[in-house]
């Protein structure tokens, strides 16, 4: 019986070492996967916010025909983002009744993990028919 117990304990010690090596090989890939998921979620959330801000700016421009009011509406439509970093492009610059207005917002989002660089450029586009 003692020889059998000794062989089992030797086998379990060897398998513990093998498990530790396998764990050390797999953990970096799992951490990279988790970091990638976190980064993707952060960028996706920022993209949704930038697109919403562009829609709000286009809506405000279509109703009020004022770029300052449209920029304020965009800032209100993007909570959680640093709206001072928004770059606006209005096409056309003034809203004529029956025409379409398109607002494009560019934004540099900060990276959480640095996997894809320090910043990521996001673009949101919104369009509305002028005059309501």
Domain count, the chain: 1
pLDDT of 8 above 70: no
pLDDT of 102 above 60: yes
Task: Provide φ and ψ at 21, rounded to 5°.
Answer: -65, -45
Whole-model pTM: value is 0.79
Listed residue (119, 86, 124) closest to 104, CA to CA: 124
pLDDT of 9 above 90: no
Place of tokens 């959480």: 112
Domain hosting residue 122, numbered range: 2-129
Question: Across 68-118, where does the E strand assignment appear?
Answer: 87-91, 100-110
- Cα–Cα distance, 73 to 52 (Å, whole number): 10
H helices of 65-100, in order, are 67-76
Instruction: Provide mean pLDDT across the span 101-125.
Output: 92
């Amino acid at each position: 019986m003692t020889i059998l117990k000794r062989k089992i304990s030797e086998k379990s010690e060897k398998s513990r070492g093998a498990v530790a090596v396998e764990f050390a090989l797999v953990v970096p890939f799992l951490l990279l996967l988790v970091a990638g998921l976190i980064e993707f979620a952060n960028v996706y959330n920022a993209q949704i916010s930038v697109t919403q801000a562009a829609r709000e700016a286009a809506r405000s421009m279509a109703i009020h025909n004022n770029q300052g009011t449209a920029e304020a509406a965009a800032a209100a439509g993007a909570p959680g983002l640093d709206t001072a970093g928004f770059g606006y492009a209005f096409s056309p610059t003034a809203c004529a009744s029956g025409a379409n207005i398109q607002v494009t917002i560019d934004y540099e989002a900060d990276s959480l993990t640095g996997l894809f660089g320090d910043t990521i450029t996001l673009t949101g586009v919104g369009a509305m028919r002028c005059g309501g």
